[in-house]
Structures are given as C-alpha cells and as structure tokens.
Structure 1
Amino acid sequence: MSVTSRQSDFRPDDNAAPMALAEARRRIVDSIRPVQETERVALPQALHRVLAEPVVAGVDVPSAANSSMDGYGYPAASVPQADARLAIIGQSLAGHPFEGHVGPGECVRITTGAVVPPGVDTVVMQENTRLEHDTLVLESPAAPGANIRLAGEDLSRGDVVLPAGSFIRPADIAVLASVGAAEVSVVRRPRVAFFSTGDELRPIDGPLAPGEIYDSNRYGLAAQLDSLGMTGVDLGAVGDTPEALADAFDRAADCDAVITSGGVSVGSADFVVDVLGEKGTIDFWRVAIKPGKPLAFGTVGGARFFGLPGNPVSTAVTFIQLVRPALVQLAGGVPAAPTRLTLPTTTALTKRPGREHFLRARMDFTSASPRVTAIDHQGSGVMRSMSRADAFIVLSADSADVPAGALVTVEPFAQPVWGLAAF
C-alpha cells in the first residue's frame, strides 16, 4: 500500500465540534486504498481470505441432469393415469448411470444424485409406488418433469462463481470446490502494527506497583485483528515521551495500518497527536460518540493511522465502529453496513443530547416479548461491561432520556462484518 506522508499543520482544538460518527466512518473508509499485492493459495487455505480475481465456472453444476430423490424415472407421456404399470428395465445409481434408453411403458430405479438416462423426463418418489415382481405400479404419478435437477441448474459454464472482493466463507469454499477451483487468487493479508501508550502499563505476567495497570488494550486489539484475519505486528507498550512515540512510529511505518491506544487526548502527557503531526498527517480528531470521543485518523509513513482512546471500552467501541470497516476495505473486501433492530428497553436510560451513545447491553429472546437490558455499569473503563454484553443500545446524538419500555435501536455484536461483493 502506498500513502504519501507529509508533515501536518494540524493541531488539536478542544473547542472544535466533534465529527458525527457516520461522517467519520464514511471519510475513513472512502480514503482507504486496498492492498494491491496478491497471492495464489490452495482452496483449503482460502477460508476467510478476500478474492483478488473473480472465479469463473469451467463446468456446469450439476454436470448432467440428475434425480433429486430416490424413486423411479420414466417418460411422462407414457403414463396417462394412476395405477399405470411400467416395466423396470434397470437402475441408475449415483456414480453408476444407466447406459440404455428408457422408452414408453418402461422405467428405471434411480437414486438421489444419479444421472437421468435418455428418455426419462420425470422421477416419481418411491413412496408413491409399489412393486409387483419386475413391474412398477404408479399409485400417484408425478407431475411431468418432477424431481429432476437440470444440468447447470446451480452454475453454468462461464458463470461468475464469486466476484473479486468476496470474503470467502465456509459455504463459498464448498461452491468453489463444486467447480473444481483447486487454487484461487487472494489479496495479501494487511499488516497492521499496534501498540499501547502509557508509563503506567505493565506486562500481564508480573506484579503491579501502586498506580500501575495491566496492558489489556493491546491484547484486545490483537484479538480483534486476529478475528479479521489481519497480520498483527505487536510493538508492545510505548512510554509517554515524544522520543519513544517517534521511534514506534518509525518502526510501524512500513505496515499497511497503525493502531494505537491512549495518548490522543489533550492532557500534559498525551503526545500521540503532536508526534503524528510531525511524522505524518492528521485528517481529523474527535468523533461525536460516547464512549470514544478522542480519536485521531491520519497517515504515518505508508500506513493509515488510527489513534484510539485509552479507556478500554472506548478502545473497543471505536475499533468496532470505525477501525473495523476500514480494515475490511484495506483487505480488499466490502464493509458491511451495521445490522440493527428495534427492541424495548427494560430500564430507563439517561442521556443528554450531543453525542451518539453506545450502551453495552444484553438481548433477551427467551421471554414472550423480546427485549434488551443495559449493563448496570457503563463506565468507559469497565471492560467487564463489554464482556458481559452481546449488543449495543445505540442512542442517536439528538436523543435525550429514554423511559423504560420505549423502543430503542440495538446493534448486536454478532453480525456480518464483511459485506457481499457486487457481481
């Protein structure tokens, strides 16, 4: 990926109005140029990769007309009424087709997936027949053409199986295998550098001194990147000095993206935005959401930069809402629009107009009426609220207090991240 970097004249202005979330997401995604490098991989290794080129069917699927169930195949024109009697002249099994021709007054036993022999245009379920020695009695004839899957019914030779930009799911592996695609061309996995900032951060395998905390954000970011199939480059915890941050940016500059947590506010020890202004560019700073208002987006070296706030929930929310769709775009995929539904809230919700709120919540579909309940502690430093939740309650920027029982917008955690590429 190539991004031109230059020194920025941007400086944070705490009095400037934060950008609306939808506008920030649009600007970020629209500015991302996908990774261009590609590689060929064997089909079993293509799961959760992004297609770089469309896959075109070289065969018909199915390759020949076949039966959709176990029964008997015959020419419908020779069966004028119920209780018609047909001579059984052979059988067509999956992988072992009947090689003769089936004429009027004749039939063959046929199994699911078996090739339909010449002369056969209808298959009757075996449950609607009875046998009398070598004769089949049709107790309930099938409609002409019934129970036959035509050649090319799923895919025809020359059809686009999957377009470029498709995120390959398990079902896609199966359909690619059905056309004999032993290898596919995929986009190189983006390399994403990440680090935490703060003198108070300590490794998770040691003791804590007063005022110190474990570096949880970096582990959360690593897990998020792994779930997206990115190649994470862990640069560790970086101290709160301009020199340490400048060194970290230099080490990250050859990656496709850089993500930091902490140091993007306007405190006396928050140097990320200042150092980035010297090393690269800043497109905007601060988004009108809660939690997660202080967020910086720009470039450093050849990479897109995402400076996330340091509070754990703020880090998680801004990653999901802004970084994740950008990384999908970076990987050559199509970011899926957020999937949302409407449910009644079981409790009253307190809010002042101004910012879009993301309250951690649990959905309940076990009761007679589906509903949603906000987690009892919504502090941006309480990561347990994310761990206990399975959805966000999303309150618009202009909304105020919400009474119990009112309908609210709910964004489940489990939802599509990769959208469908256009054919």
Structure 2
Amino acid sequence: MDRRAVTSLLSLEEAQARLLALAPQRPSSVMGLLPFDTRRYLARDITARRTQPAADLSAMDGYAVAPGPGPWQRVGESRAGVPFGGALAHDQCVRISTGAVLPEGAESIVLQEDAAISGDMVTATEPPSAGRHIRRAGFDFREGDVILERGTAWSPAVLALAAAAGHAQLPWTEPPSVAVLDSGDELVAPGAPCAAHQIPASNGLMLGAMLYPYVGMVDSLGPVTDDRMALAAALERAEDSHILVTSGGASVGDHDLIQQALKDWGAKIDFWRVAIKPGKPLMVATRPSRSGPDLVILGLPGNPVSSFVTAFLFALPLVRASMGDPHPLPRTITMIAGEDLPPTERRREFLRAVIEGDRVRLAGSQDSSALAALAQADCLIDRPAGAPAAKAGDRVPVFCLRNG
C-alpha cells in the first residue's frame, strides 16, 4: 500500500465540512399544519400568539375549594370548556374536572378520591395543599415567547405546539431537487433478464428511498452504461437539479468515466477520496447553475454497501444542511460490543451491525457488496483507523440507521 496515497486522503470530518460548506441554500415557503409527506425545517423562529394555559386550570378531577380547612358547600361546577360563572366565597367549592378553569377565590384542589360527600357538603379526608394540582396560567408558554427555533425539524409534537400557540401555518425551508444517476455496463433494470455478467441496478432505488423522506420524488437518471455520450445525455437531464448524486464510476480506472464526464459537462472537482472503509472513492464537485447556487455533485462508489454508507454519511447531511438543519450530521450513541471486533487498518471503518438490547453484533459479511447483511443491519459501528481489536463487552460508538 502506498503510504503517501493513504495520508493524502481526507478525514471524514474534513470531507463532511467541505461538502456541507457547498450546500445549496433554499428559500422558504409557508405551509399549513396539515401533515405532509416529507420532512421540513423551520425557516425562522416562531413566537407564541397566545398564552398557554390562558387561565389557571385544574390538573385533576375533584373539587376546587376556597381557603380554609372545610367542610365546603358545593355551589356549582367547572368543567373543561364550561367554567363556573362566579367567584367562591369562604367555605365554598365547585366540582371541577381536569383542564377546567379554576374559579376566582379557589386556592386548592381536593382530589376526587380524597373527598367525602354529604349532600352538598364536601369534606377533605386529606388536607389539601395550597396551589397543588393547579396548572398556573402561562406555565407552558406565554404570548411572545419563542416556542420553536429556526431549524427545528418537523414532527407531530412541533405541529401540536404550533397549533396550541395560535398558528395555522408555518414557514418551512423548501427541499432541494435531487437527481440520482447510477452507471455501469453491468447494470440492468430491476426485474429484467439478468445474465451471469450482469446485476440488477439496485443503488438508484436505494438512494432514492433514502432521500425521499426529505425531498419527495427523486429524479432517477439511470441506470446508464459506461459510455461518454450516454453519460453526457444523462447529465444534461440533471441541469435544473440542486443536488446530483451519482453511484459508480467515481474512481479513475479505464472504465470509470464519471469524473471525466463531469469535467466535460463543466463541473469542477472539489475533492476525491476519503479515509473511510467502505467508501474511499467518494467525490464532490460543483457546476455553475443557470440560476441560483451551484449544482452540488456527490459521487458515490458503485458497490452497494459503500454507496449506502457514504450516502448516510454525506448525501443525507447535504440535503438536511440545504434545508436549514443546524445539526445535519448523524450522531453516535455508545453501546456494548456483543462480540469481538477485528482490528482496523489505516482507514476509519463502519461495520454493519444489529442492535440487540444494549449490545451490537455484526450483521454477517462486511464485504462492500453484501446486500443481505446490509438489509439486516440497523446500525453502523464506528471504528477508528489503526484501532486494536475490540473485545466483547467494550463500549463502541454506533450510528443508528433508523433515525439518520
């Protein structure tokens, strides 16, 4: 192995930083709160238009009582949506339900199970504590508070909070348009007859499925043969995309034509090769756009596992950064190795693995073409370059694939 070639590779962090610095920034648009098919990130801070709760509320079913030891005379009821119409005098109470407005003059809630009833008189079997079981006005948020910060990701809870704060619409950053191009003479369309020297084109489907939750429909440009004219025609179809992801042909062998095809198309190579395994021949380029920021091109390796791992580490963060995510990179958690892990060489390695309780074990073959093991995996074990063998029981950093 040529040591100079290894040391010239970019680290994962440097490569990610250089790529994210190129992310095309997208404008915002206002959308209603109805659920939509793709993820979004808020384009600006959101402030509350109302106070929540707007009045003191009961947190439990029971009786809202005036100050004093009791007994209290029941003079009415306050239920959610229908408050008691008056104020409590000394030694009076009202029946109250969870979420109902606390009447004026009430100080405490006697829980239903702590109340003894005799006619219209209520006695507490347990002395109530002043202020207990009461949700004070504004304890959740007040009008004018920043309730959601710019870059907050769409979620059901975010929509609920926005609605509670008086919003019917929110400004979301628009997703980029993404095209995916997989290339290779060996590729045939999925389901087509496949000779021994051919394989079904699976990478385009895989990458499109990974990106769809963020950008919606992905423009599929492949599979394309290893032919300069065919590649040039496919690239022209990506003219109006914001991001182009290619799979295959990113190296510099006799039949790896993507780099030259991109240069012929007017693209400028920013960097090529990263010190990770799988995924070393990763390429990033840009091309001037007819309008707006430069088209960003991410060239992934053709081996399916390499393509998947680099898409997880680079393509998804690029899309998230373009959409305004302030923390677009995936994050690790620490888990326990369920088996011995082999030492690593001069590149950082990402092992496909399966989570079992608080432990992780390898998901079969770690070959970069092994799709069966990849399909079983729900995480990647992050192993540093030049690391000794890890023992079962050691703690290891893990990327969870289910949450990106």
TM class by shorter chain equals: over 0.9
Judge conservation of contact 1:326–1:335 (CA < 8 Å) in 2: no
Higher RCO (CA-CA < 8 Å; seq separation 6+): 1
Aligned match for 2:231, one of 236, 242, 245: 245
Query: For the residues of structure 2 that align with 1:187 and 1:244, how far apart are their CA atoms?
Result: 34
Please name the residue that 1:392 is paired with: 380
SS at match of 2:21: helix
Deviations 1:305-341 (A, max 9, x none): 1000000000000001111111100112223553323
Deviations 1:75-96 (A, max 9, x none): 33x23xxxx3111111101111
Please name the residue that 2:32 is paired with: 42
1:258 lines up with 2:258 in the alignment: no
Q: How many corresponding residue pairs?
A: 394
Aligned match for 1:292, one of 262, 279, 294: 279
SS at match of 1:228: helix
Q: 1:122 to 1:382 in 2, by over 3 A?
A: same
The offset of 1:142, in angstroms, is: 1.8
Q: 1:56 to 1:16 in 2, by over 3 A?
A: same
1:61 lines up with 2:52 in the alignment: yes
Quick one: which amino acid aligns to residue 310 of structure 2? T
Give structure 1 regions of 4+ aligned residues with deviation exceeding 4 angstroms: 13-16
1:73 lines up with 2:60 in the alignment: no
1:308 lines up with 2:284 in the alignment: no
Query: For the residues of structure 2 that align with 1:216 and 1:97, how far apart are their CA atoms?
Result: 61
Please name the residue that 1:382 is paired with: 370
Deviations 1:387-420 (A, max 9, x none): 11111121101313334443332222233x4xxx
Judge conservation of contact 2:344–2:384 (CA < 8 Å) in 1: no
Judge conservation of contact 2:321–2:328 (CA < 8 Å) in 1: no
The offset of 1:224, in angstroms, is: 0.5
The offset of 1:351, in angstroms, is: 3.2
Q: 1:119 to 1:361 in 2, by over 3 A?
A: same
Query: For the residues of structure 2 that align with 1:180 and 1:408, how far apart are their CA atoms?
Result: 45
Please name the residue that 1:421 is paired with: none
Deviations 1:128-160 (A, max 9, x none): 111011100011122111111112211111112
Query: For the residues of structure 2 that align with 1:336 and 1:196, how far apart are their CA atoms?
Result: 25
Deviations 1:135-192 (A, max 9, x none): 0001112211111111221111111221222211011111111123112222222100
1:100 lines up with 2:100 in the alignment: no
Please name the residue that 1:326 is paired with: 318
Query: For the residues of structure 2 that align with 1:299 and 1:379, how far apart are their CA atoms?
Result: 31
Query: For the residues of structure 1 that align with 2:5 and 2:203, how far apart are their CA atoms?
Result: 25
1:26 lines up with 2:17 in the alignment: yes
Judge conservation of contact 2:178–2:215 (CA < 8 Å) in 1: no
Quick one: which amino acid aligns to residue 382 of structure 2? V
The offset of 1:229, in angstroms, is: 3.7
Aligned match for 1:363, one of 355, 366, 371: 355
Judge conservation of contact 1:98–1:117 (CA < 8 Å) in 2: yes
Judge conservation of contact 1:249–1:300 (CA < 8 Å) in 2: no
Query: For the residues of structure 1 that align with 2:42 and 2:176, how far apart are their CA atoms?
Result: 14
RMSD value, Cα: 1.9
Structure 1 stretch 146-155 or stretch 397-406: which is displaced more?
397-406
Please name the residue that 2:398 is paired with: 410
1:176 lines up with 2:162 in the alignment: yes
TM-score, normalised to structure 2, is 0.92
TM-score, normalised to structure 1, is 0.88
SS at match of 1:123: strand
Structure 1 stretch 247-256 or stretch 257-266: which is displaced more?
247-256
Quick one: which amino acid aligns to residue 26 of structure 1? A
The offset of 1:286, in angstroms, is: 0.5
Please name the residue that 1:86 is paired with: 72
Aligned match for 2:95, one of 109, 117, 120: 109
SS at match of 2:222: strand
SS at match of 2:34: helix
The offset of 1:264, in angstroms, is: 0.6
Query: For the residues of structure 2 that align with 1:57 and 1:217, how far apart are their CA atoms?
Result: 44
Query: For the residues of structure 1 that align with 2:236 and 2:106, how far apart are their CA atoms?
Result: 71
